Structure 1
Amino acid sequence: MALKIRVYSDYVCPYCLLAKKSLDEATKGKEVEVEWMPFELRPYPTPTLKPEGDYLQSVWEQSVYPMAQQMGVPIKLPRVSPQPYTHLAFEGYQYAKEQGKAQDYNERMLKAFFQEELDIGNVDVLTKLSGELGLDEKEFRILLENRKYQAAHKQALKHAYEDAKISAVPTLIIGDKVLRGMHSKETIEKVITQEISRSLKY
């Protein structure tokens, strides 16, 4: 039976894009099942951050850019101001998951924002991206406009906030082990090996 890995992330968290690379490398060739779980750092109507503000400028200069350069991941501080809310993108994720495109959708959202500076809070942008993944654009737009997956997304957030007690992203739950924040490929591999060994004992 495959080891279950849950990744709690938000599409406007640059560390989530970086963590994806470490996770992809650490899980390659291993019998694992990775599920991406929605988390909103600043749910509506909490004000979102502005890229021109001191906070984001400082965090990116001191932490994000050096880490990304070291890992070889192309990334830039998107000039979308203020940063988009991600509830619509996550409602689209619920649809993509039903269509068997969850992994592709997550990767596309992160790259669209952090490599192409696209406004992933915009229905037109999200619809176009869904089409790139082979999803039905017309159906996708309608479900976003009708908020068809609003309840499913709210349930996913309730799980993250209340059940899983997630307070920051990225957070990886590998088997029974919780890894908060950024971790190297080696650390993730070690935990995967330990959790697979532990599961075989039972």
Structure 2
Amino acid sequence: MSENENTAAGTIRIDVVSDVVCPYCILGYKQLEKASEQSGVAIDLHWHPFELNPQMPKEGENLREHLAKKYGTTLEQSIASRARLTEAGAQLGFSFQYTDDMRMYNTFQAHQLLHWADQQGKQTALKLALFDAFFTRREDVSDETVLVDVAETVGLDREEAERVLREKTYAGAVRADQRFWLERGIQGVPAYILNQRYLVSGAQGVENLSRVLTQVAAEKAA
């Protein structure tokens, strides 16, 4: 997967609208990664921001309580869902570490850092590190210190990351990108736009995504 490059001949550009606190977004990425390997179709990823919880208070909310309030999820449904996600993640090489006290957070600052990381050629690395931080280590991905720590682990400059967050350098750009996709009907994530033409929503599975990649690549080559 390349980043910050023009899409080469035979490579499919995929714009990915997602949030780092969305479990299906990391599952979808892992499925897409395997689908690319399985189909032999190279992909060029471009990540875009989506906030699942734009009104979330700074302290966050207990994840189970949040889902119950937002979606009406019962305790039994939550337990079953976490078990399914944990199993699906393990099969794809990702570790979900859910606990009863796990909290949900706002991700606007994380998206600002991701916007900056794109300019450094480190966006995918940071995105994956933030998924790990939230789902595996249960860290507060709205906290500036956590975000800067994670950025540093993927080779980004710590002082520059602090400045980007402190000065809200890319807040306007992130808001504009969010509006762009909302105005085009993206209401849920993950959403994949292939070659800026075809929309695929949700974690569709490796086989389905492999077929889609093959079909789009064949059309591009025709």
**What is the TM-score normalised by the length of structure 2?**
0.82
Distance 1:157 1:34, change over 3 A: same
Q: 1:37 aligns with which of 22, 43, 48?
A: 48
Gaps of 5+ in 1: none
Q: Are 2:113 and 2:161, in contact at CA under 8 Å, matched by a contact in 1?
A: yes
The within-5 A match list for 1:162-201 is: 162-163=183-184, 165-175=185-195, 176-201=197-222
Q: Does 1:4 align with 2:21?
A: no
Instruction: Indicate how the Cα distance of structure 1 residues 169 and 57 shifts in structure 2: closer, same or farther if over 3 A, else same.
Output: farther
Distance 2:178 2:41 in 1: 29
Aligned identity (percent) is 25
Structure 2 residues not aligned, in runs of 5+: 1-8
Task: Find the counterpart in structure 1 of residue 146 from structure 2.
Answer: 125
Alignment partner, residue 50 of structure 1: 62
Q: Which amino acid aligns with 1:43?
A: P
Equivalenced residue count is 199
Task: Look up the equivalent residue of 1:31 and give its one-letter code.
Answer: A
Query: What is the aligned counterpart of 2:118 among 79, 92, 97?
Result: 97
CA contact (8 A) 1:17 1:111 kept: no
1:125 aligned partner, one-letter code: V
What TM-score, normalized to structure 1?
0.89
Q: How does 1:113-152 map to 2 (within 5 A)?
A: 113-152=134-173
Q: In the alignment, which residue of structure 1 is the partner of 2:23?
A: 14
Distance 1:57 1:113, change over 3 A: farther
3-state SS of the aligned residue for 1:172?
strand
